Amino acid sequence: MALAARTAARSAWPSLAPFLERHYTTGVSILSVLVFLVLWETAADQRWMNPRLTGQPTLIWQAALEVFRNDRFFYHAWISFAEFGIGFVLALIVGVPLGLIMGTHKTTRLFLEPPLMALYTAPRLALLPILIVWLGIGIASKIAVVFLGAVFPILVNTLAGVRNADNRLVQAARAFGATQLDIFVKILVPGSLPAILMGVRLGIGRGVLSVIVGEMFVSQAGIGYQIMSYGQGMQINKMLVYALSISLFSYGLILSVQWLESRIRDWKPVS
């Protein structure tokens, strides 16, 4: 009986190997999260750290149930996601075309680069009071903060992607009579897509951070507003519910962009 069981296990292993290889990355990621949660729960339960200051996974779960039932969670989430979504779409609409134009026209790049880089290096919090004076404390000021946070990584990476295009492909296309539009559409844009998507990933992180910071200081609703309110009231578990929610949202968007990047990676011209 034991010999038969060992033989069955050995015959089943080859069929499991491809499955394990395909899902190795996901499995390791899930395992790391589980280990972290177990260590966090154990440290709080054994009072190695103060759960009133650091939270505790089981208490956060209980707080999440209460937040979902009584705290208008989805209303606050909708406010934050709408502010982020509008600001980020505007950043894409402006950042990608402007980066492509600056990458292909030297005079335009030299003319626009100094003021844009000055804005890029300016801290967003320093601009927030000016945006409030101009746009008020409503949704418009948060959209503007998200736009400023996301547009520059997208623009800079798009510009770098165009400028790093393989010049040999451009010269070969010109030798075969390709027009400037053909070169732009068929070589420069596909070749810069990996850099553009890298900028999009960076822009997502900057945009999410911007909307939360904006809501923490100037808002009457939204996830950032709730984080600030519960933080001031020392309700750490409820505060972490909102913080983890926005982290999961951001992580999901980044994974989506990484999936898209893996699908179009072959478009990049090979040296």
- The whole-number average pLDDT for the span 57-62 is 80
Whether 74 has a pLDDT exceeding 70, the answer reads yes
Question: How confident is the model at residue 269, as a pLDDT?
Answer: 47
Domains of the chain (ranges plus CATH)? Answer: 2-49 (no CATH), 61-267 (1.10.3720.10)
Q: Minimum mean pLDDT among 131-135, 222-226, 258-262: which range? A: 131-135
Cβ-Cβ contacts under 8 Å for 203 (sequence gap 6 or more): 88, 91, 92, 95, 149, 150, 151, 153, 154
Whether 270 has a pLDDT exceeding 50, the answer reads no
Dihedral sign (CA 154, 256, 27, 55) = positive
Residue 211: phi, psi to the nearest 5?
Answer: -65, -35
Q: Minimum mean pLDDT among 33-37, 199-203, 225-229: which range? A: 33-37
How is residue 97 written in tokens?
Answer: 């075309």
Q: What is the mean pLDDT of the chain?
A: 77
Nearest to 124 by CA among 92, 153, 82: 153
Share of residues in the chain with pLDDT > 70 (%): 77
pTM for the model stands at 0.77
- The whole-number average pLDDT for the span 124-132 is 72
In the chain, the DSSP E strands lie at none
